[in-house]
Amino acid sequence: MNSTKILIVEDEKDIRCSLSELLRKACYQTIEATNGRSALDIFSPGIDLVILDVMLPDMSGFDVCSAIREKSTVPVLFLTAMGSEADIIHGLEVGGDDYLKKPFLAGELMARINSLFRRSRFYNAAPHDKKESFLFCGPLKLSLDRNYCENNGLSVQLTDTEYCILRLLLKRKGDPLSPRYIYEQVWNEPFLDNSANTVMVHIRSLRRKLELDPHHPKLIQTAWAKGYMISKKEKA
Ligand code: CA
């Protein structure tokens, strides 16, 4: 049994138990919550990932995610029965990293979880001995080695997904990157119809955190019909 802890927030007993069983078989430790309040009571910095149902009896999973985001950048995977485009986008806007529509296959779930852990493990590892390298763009400073970002001298809390997107754009400064390319690089999964929206929502969230005027972005620009880019000229 490894020490990785996954918090499962799901009111439907059958789904909660089968999720827990599946994850335990994969050697994760699981903690279960049946509603939003208890999820927030249980949540602690020791939790490594949250699987969050949207329709909970006392509050919505979206509100639970917003509350978690006030104190943590832990990976959050939404389980949604609704699955409409608007719901999915809302889930990502409140800070979710990814979503899975019910009913889902065990293989799909494990692929999502592995992809989230890959991002978070890689970039939240303990600082190693070698000197840390940074990428710069105007007042923006991003570590190449871990999820650490500064803008105008102040540290900015990014989720691991946001960090990975920003790192990719900065490494490829001057190149417009298509949503497909960004998705395949960061999520490490095949690009589907909804994936462009998933990328768009995370770009919007990055702009909210980094731009003076998120509606008129200077740092992360939209290259019409091509994708997103950070200009080589330092305008931000
Ligand atoms: Ca539910």
CA distance 113 to 123: 16
CA distance 7 to 232: 41
CA distance 14 to 51: 15
pLDDT surpassing 90 at residue 61: yes
Helix or strand holding residue 140 (H, E)? strand 140-143
Distance 65 CA to ligand 1 centre (A): 15
Distance 154 CA to ligand 1 centre (A): 39
Distance of CA 130 to the CA centre of its chain: 27
- pLDDT: is 79 or 81 the higher one? 79
Cα end-to-end span (Å), the chain:
47
Distance 17 CA to ligand 1 centre (A): 13
pLDDT of residue 173: 95
Distance 110 CA to ligand 1 centre (A): 20
pLDDT surpassing 80 at residue 154: yes
On whether the CB atoms of residues 144 and 122 are closer than 8 A, the answer is no
Distance 12 CA to ligand 1 centre (A): 6
Return the percentage of the chain with pLDDT > 90, whole number.
81
Distance 79 CA to ligand 1 centre (A): 9
Residue 160 banded pLDDT, cuts 50, 70, 90: very high
Distance 191 CA to ligand 1 centre (A): 27
Residue 3 banded pLDDT, cuts 50, 70, 90: confident
CA distance 158 to 164: 9
pLDDT of residue 128: 61
When pLDDT is averaged across residues 164-171 and rounded to a whole number, the result is 97
- DSSP-assigned letter for residue 55: B
Distance 49 CA to ligand 1 centre (A): 18
CA distance 46 to 66: 18
CA distance 225 to 176: 10
- Return the half-sphere exposure (C-beta side, CA atoms, 13 A cut-off) of residue 138: 14
CA distance 146 to 133: 9
When pLDDT is averaged across residues 36-42 and rounded to a whole number, the result is 98
pTM of the entire structure?
0.85
Residue 85 banded pLDDT, cuts 50, 70, 90: confident
